[in-house]
Amino acid sequence: MRGKHVLITGGTGALGRAVCREALARGALVTVPYVVDAEAEALKDAGITLVAADMSDEQAVSRVMNDMPALDVLVHLVGGFEMGPTHLVDLAAWRRHLDLNLTTTFLCCKHALARMRQSGYGRIVTVGSRAVVDPMGEAAAYSASKAGVVALTRVIAAETKGTAITANSVLPSVIDTPANRRAMGDANASAWVAPSSLARVICFLGSEDARDLRGAALPVFGQV
């Protein structure tokens, strides 16, 4: 990834910070959009270009990508998770999942593709979930939206066949983040996926070494 211009959305989160560190270690030039000032503080001295932008706003997405000197790699990490029995999920919660997990993926991939097609090169990495292949109860909106992310990524892989642009997804199980430890306790945390481990998989998919992978959905389940 040395010298590649890499956009990492959701880069201020626990997984995002790990991906930023890995990409920087591989010599990438990293740009991270952010919404909350306080969340960007940890990245200010890391040699990262920080840009205030909401990835659910198409104009902001377009601006961020077109302002970059080049866009070689898109790592799209923006997403969210809520649980609830399907018969109790209200329409607002359903739409919130689709917007946060799927619509942001569409907007970022759409505008990244436009730039990558101009240059003739690109890597797109999206984040699905184990719930795509092993759906669990009380996660209808989450599972459906993440399944949409994987399907969209495979569509892009089909559209870019025969080019130097690739699109792949990772399917993590529970990631060992402070938020997940607060929500679920840490008794089983040693079996979860370490952010640094998942970051290495993501950066592999964003590298030249993954040029022959297209439309893959790689399971990263840890020991769960």
Per-residue pLDDT reduced to its tens digit, 169-219: 999 999 888 888 888 898 888 999 999 999 999 999 999 999 999 999 999
> In angstroms, rounded to a whole number, what is the distance separating the alpha carbons of residues 125 and 4?
14
Partners of 76 in the beta sheet?
9, 126
**Angle, nearest 10°, between helix axes 140-159 and 104-119?**
10
pLDDT at 45: 80
| Rounded mean pLDDT, 101-117 | 98
> In angstroms, rounded to a whole number, what is the distance separating the alpha carbons of residues 39 and 181?
19
pLDDT at 13: 93
> In angstroms, rounded to a whole number, what is the distance separating the alpha carbons of residues 163 and 166?
8
pLDDT at 187: 87
Contacts within 8 Å (CB) and 24+ apart, 195-200: 195/14, 195/15, 195/17, 195/18, 195/19, 196/18, 196/21, 196/22, 197/222, 198/15, 198/18, 198/19, 198/170, 198/172, 199/15, 199/18, 199/19, 199/21, 199/22, 200/22
pLDDT of 136 over the 90 cut? no
- pLDDT category at 123 given cuts 50, 70, 90 is very high
Residue 70 structural domain: 5-220
Q: Please report the beta strands in the chain, taking only residues with DSSP state E, as ranges in sequence order.
A: 5-9, 29-34, 49-52, 73-76, 121-127, 164-172, 217-220
> In angstroms, rounded to a whole number, what is the distance separating the alpha carbons of residues 102 and 181?
25
Residue type (1 letter), 144: A
| Rounded mean pLDDT, 152-175 | 97
pLDDT at 22: 97
User: 28-86, pLDDT tens digit by residue?
Assistant: 999 999 999 888 988 988 889 999 999 999 999 999 999 999 999 999 999 988 889 99
pLDDT, greater one: 183 or 116: 116
pLDDT at 19: 97
Assess contact for 121 and 94: CB atoms under 8 A: no
| Rounded mean pLDDT, 94-101 | 94
Out of 142, 152, 160, 206, the active site residue is: 142
> In angstroms, rounded to a whole number, what is the distance separating the alpha carbons of residues 53 and 40?
12
Helix residue ranges per DSSP H, 36-174: 37-40, 58-67, 91-97, 104-119, 140-159
34 an active-site residue?
no
The pTM of this model reads 0.96
pLDDT at 211: 95
Name the DSSP class of 160. Answer: T
What's the structural domain count of the chain?
A: 1
What CATH number does the domain containing 59 carry?
A: 3.40.50.720
pLDDT at 46: 81
